[in-house]
């Protein structure tokens, strides 16, 4: 029996698991979810457990909280309520008809007449959670228009930088149309609620004989309307900014010894929700 017990404990350790303990739900989580569900569900049931991972530095402070509630609300009505309250819609996955991200990273979803709200900080993703999957913001029309403007600026610049290096830009990430489809999107905090912003990055092998100095010089020259920081002390690196679009360009050698053209584009702007 002792051998079985030891093996069981060893299995938990190898899996990164320890005992989960019941803990109080925070007033912030309970108040935010209760307020949002007012008029949608009258009696959400709250629960919280420690994450139960040996990888959490302080297991007692790493907690997953959730609330479950039955509701007859339609997906369209819940989505409209979420947008009005400043909760960023996400593209539905795993048979969830609505997924929203609200204050303090709270996630809320509707599936088969059940509403689930969650907030967790666990080193092992998914413990006690149903909404821990990767999410992508589902943009309103006004958000898409604003983000397309800044991303289109980055896509055009990336094409010019790649041309200076004698290669084609990765059109899956930076398409000529300037569409956001290949960019990474994330939910962020805007002054009036949640919002969305984009990020995009590519790396292209230029071979071992690439003339880094010439490529850097020609790439900077191609960015005529941009504010460029040439970083003269760094022969293989520069940055550029135009309005709310930032570029970082590197020409460092990769693990195989070849020069790699790295283009990273970001926007610091969190575009808030507004009705489309």
pLDDT digits (tens, 9 = 90+) for 201-225: 999 999 999 999 999 999 999 999 9
Question: Do residues 180 and 230 share a domain?
Answer: yes
What is the value of pTM for the model shown?
A: 0.86
Question: Do residues 27 and 101 share a domain?
Answer: yes
Residues of the domain holding 173:
141-272
Question: Do residues 97 and 176 share a domain?
Answer: no
Question: Do residues 111 and 157 share a domain?
Answer: no
The percent of residues in the chain predicted with pLDDT above 90, rounded, is 79
Question: Do residues 112 and 150 share a domain?
Answer: no
- Does some domain include residue 134? no
Q: Output the pLDDT for position 10.
A: 45
The total number of structural domains that make up the chain:
2
- Does some domain include residue 115? yes
- Does some domain include residue 80? yes
Question: Do residues 65 and 164 share a domain?
Answer: no
Among the candidates 88, 120, 152, a domain finishes at 120
Question: Do residues 113 and 157 share a domain?
Answer: no
Question: Do residues 34 and 114 share a domain?
Answer: yes
Question: Do residues 22 and 115 share a domain?
Answer: yes
Cα–Cα distance measured from residue 183 to residue 149, given in angstroms and rounded to the nearest whole number: 13
Among the candidates 65, 86, 120, a domain finishes at 120
Cα–Cα distance measured from residue 19 to residue 52, given in angstroms and rounded to the nearest whole number: 5
Compute CA 115 distance to the chain's CA centroid, rounded to the nearest angstrom: 23
Cα–Cα distance measured from residue 167 to residue 158, given in angstroms and rounded to the nearest whole number: 11
**Phi and psi at residue 150, to the nearest 5°:** -70, -35
Among the candidates 120, 150, 185, a domain finishes at 120
Would you place residue 192 in the very low, low, confident or very high pLDDT band (cuts 50, 70, 90)?
Answer: confident
Q: Output the pLDDT for position 6.
A: 46
Asked if 143 and 196 count as a contact pair (C-beta separation under 8 A), the reply is yes
- Does some domain include residue 127? no
105: CB partners within 8 A, 6+ apart: 119
Would you give the DSSP letter of residue 58? S
| pLDDT (tens digit per residue) in 221-258 | 999 999 999 999 999 999 999 999 999 999 999 999 99
Nearest CA-CA partner of 100 in 60, 61, 73, 62 = 73
- Two tokens, residue 271: 């575009």
Question: Do residues 103 and 22 share a domain?
Answer: yes
């Amino acid at each position: 029996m002792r051998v079985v017990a030891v093996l069981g404990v060893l299995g938990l350790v190898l899996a990164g698991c320890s005992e989960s303990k019941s803990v109080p739900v925070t007033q912030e989580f309970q108040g935010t979810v209760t307020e949002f569900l007012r008029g949608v569900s009258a009696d959400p049931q709250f629960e919280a457990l420690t994450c139960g991972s040996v990888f959490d530095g302080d297991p007692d402070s790493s907690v997953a909280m959730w609330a479950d509630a039955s509701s007859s609300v339609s997906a369209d009505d819940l989505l409209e309520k979420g947008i009005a309250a400043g909760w960023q819609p996400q593209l539905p996955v795993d048979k969830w008809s609505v997924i929203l991200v609200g204050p303090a990273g709270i996630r809320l979803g509707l599936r088969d007449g059940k509403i689930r709200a969650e907030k967790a900080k666990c080193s092992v993703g998914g413990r006690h959670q149903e909404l821990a999957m990767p999410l992508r913001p589902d943009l309103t029309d006004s958000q898409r228009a604003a983000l397309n403007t800044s991303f289109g600026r980055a896509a055009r610049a990336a094409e010019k930088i790649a041309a200076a290096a004698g290669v084609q830009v990765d059109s899956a990430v930076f398409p000529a149309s300037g569409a956001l489809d290949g960019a990474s999107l994330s939910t962020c905090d805007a002054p009036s609620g949640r919002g969305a912003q984009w990020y995009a990055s590519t790396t292209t092998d230029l071979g071992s004989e690439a003339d880094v100095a010439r490529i850097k010089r020609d790439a900077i020259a191609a960015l005529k309307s941009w504010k460029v920081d040439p970083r003269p002390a760094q022969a293989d690196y520069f940055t550029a900014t135009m309005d709310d679009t930032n570029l970082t360009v590197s020409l460092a050698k990769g693990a195989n010894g070849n020069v790699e053209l790295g283009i990273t584009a970001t926007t610091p702007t969190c575009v808030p929700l507004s009705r489309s």
